[in-house]
Amino acid sequence: AYKYFLDMEPEARMIDPSLLTKFRKTRITEDILEEMLKETIQQALDKGLIKSGTIIVDATHTNASVRAKSPTQILRDLSKQLRKEIYKNAFELSEKFPEKPSLESSLEEEISYTQELLSALKEDIFAIGDKKIQKLYEKIKELLETEKIRDIRSKDDEDARFGHKTPTSTFYGYKNHLAITEERLIAGISITDGGAPDGQELPNLIESAKKSGIEVTEIIGDMAYVSEENLEICGEEITLIAKTNAAVAAAAAAELEEGFSFNKDAGKLQCPAGELAMRVEKREAKNGNQYHNYVFSKRICKKCPLKDKCRVGNGKTQSYCVTQVSEKNRARLEFEASDEFKERLKIRHRIEEKNGELKEAHGLRRADSTGLFAMRVQMYFTAFVVNAKRITRLAIHTAE
């Protein structure tokens, strides 16, 4: 089938599979990915297949191609790999190895040991001339110096993160934030790690759709996209069709401190460390304002590396109080009660169907490689394929 498509003879030799890997690593850039997406939308516009400035937005998750581990286990594996390479190619340096910690050691103990190991090898590591050992040494050193080791969950994929699908279930990987037209064509893409909130990517999706050639006049989404910032960005030019959840409104009305966000899938507040509140206590004051007090786990906060820098960690009750000013949301809620709003919201299911197609028919359920850029490549190429399919179907339907 490939040879037929490329107009090759049946007996002709196919290209070496490694050529595609080299092409991906050396020739594909962010600009090329954007141009690919833009080209499909431009062709649809030229053919008159896109008839409005409406985009429907949502995010779908993709599981990482590697298994998640604890930071302690990752650091232990890296130091073990370094020792193994030295035993194999520079055995004389093994005499400088400090005593290994036990398998029950904490992350702090493992960090202390690894720092001691690197310090012992510092004088000789570059003298031996082994590039593989030097590269591994530099990688471990960078992870410790930047404290990135506390965040990553895989030594092979440092960009993937845990995210929440529901209050009780999580996934490890990435989020693909998408904007599609009413005709089910993907017009905007933004890729993040799995822990990123959906709502904060709306400005990027608007910008991506505009670059593709869509004059955005209306956005349809779920409750994650209603916030003071997003409403301000939309202004009077763009109508935001998305329902306001009481808890979302509470978080939007108050200016959340940096790192805190509302997780719409779990329906709870999320702290800078990625932990969800256990419960929310709702109270009403005499002046009509509502107070939502999000309570976090004292046990988790006590062990959290960010506790000294976090408002929740420093507090006595491990809670975060958010004020909802009812007057601010009154006009918005009246708009959401209108027949026009309800009618437009009915087409939001189209993006959920598109997400299902991407996963079931095009392999987006799982990443095919590691790293954020590899995830971008996979998503953009998948979008290119599904857009080409959709344009063909729409063109045939229009011709009939």
Please give the pLDDT value at position 244. Answer: 81
On the question of pLDDT at 328 being above 80, the answer is: no
Please give the pLDDT value at position 255. Answer: 62
Please give the pLDDT value at position 147. Answer: 87
Place of tokens 């103990």: 109
Quote the CA–CA distance of 320 and 312 in Å, as a whole number. Answer: 6
The string of pLDDT tens digits covering residues 332-361 is: 778 888 999 999 999 999 999 999 999 999
Quote the CA–CA distance of 218 and 47 in Å, as a whole number. Answer: 22
Please give the pLDDT value at position 327. Answer: 60
Please give the pLDDT value at position 272. Answer: 86
Please give the pLDDT value at position 325. Answer: 56
Averaged pLDDT of the chain? 89
The string of pLDDT tens digits covering residues 289-303 is: 677 888 999 888 888
Please give the pLDDT value at position 382. Answer: 97
- Cβ pair 185, 398 in contact under 8 A: no
Please give the pLDDT value at position 288. Answer: 56
Mean pLDDT across the stretch 151-165? Answer: 90
Confidence of residue 251 (pLDDT cuts 50, 70, 90): very low
Phi, psi of 325 (to 5 degrees): -90, 110
Sequence-separated contacts (24+) of 134-140 with Cβ below 8 Å: 136/78, 136/81, 136/82, 136/85, 137/82, 139/78, 140/75, 140/78, 140/79, 140/82, 140/114
Please give the pLDDT value at position 65. Answer: 95
The string of pLDDT tens digits covering residues 214-248 is: 999 999 999 889 888 899 999 999 999 998 865 54
- Cβ pair 196, 216 in contact under 8 A: no
Q: Largest alpha-carbon pair distance within the chain? A: 83
Please give the pLDDT value at position 285. Answer: 64
pTM, entire model: 0.77
Quote the CA–CA distance of 369 and 174 in Å, as a whole number. Answer: 12
Please give the pLDDT value at position 363. Answer: 95
- Cβ pair 34, 211 in contact under 8 A: yes
Confidence of residue 379 (pLDDT cuts 50, 70, 90): very high
Please give the pLDDT value at position 261. Answer: 84
In 9-106, which ranges are continuous DSSP H helix? Answer: 18-26, 30-46, 71-89
Please give the pLDDT value at position 259. Answer: 81
On the question of pLDDT at 253 being above 70, the answer is: no
244 or 133, greater pLDDT: 133
DSSP 121-165: HTTTTTTS--HHHHHHHHHHHHHHHTTGGGT-S-SS-SS-EEEES
315 or 47, greater pLDDT: 47
Quote the CA–CA distance of 362 and 383 in Å, as a whole number. Answer: 9
Lowest mean pLDDT among 62-71, 148-157, 190-199: 148-157
Place of tokens 């997780």: 263
Quote the CA–CA distance of 181 and 161 in Å, as a whole number. Answer: 29
Quote the CA–CA distance of 94 and 83 in Å, as a whole number. Answer: 7
Residues 6+ apart with CB under 8 A from 164: 170, 263, 265, 266, 270, 276
219 or 151, greater pLDDT: 219
Instruction: For the chain, give the percent of residues with pLDDT over 70.
Output: 94
Residues 6+ apart with CB under 8 A from 170: 162, 163, 164
Q: Quickly count: other Cβ atoms within 10 Å of residue 83's Cβ.
A: 16
Mean pLDDT across the stretch 1-19? Answer: 88
Residues 6+ apart with CB under 8 A from 206: 55, 179, 188, 216, 219, 233, 238
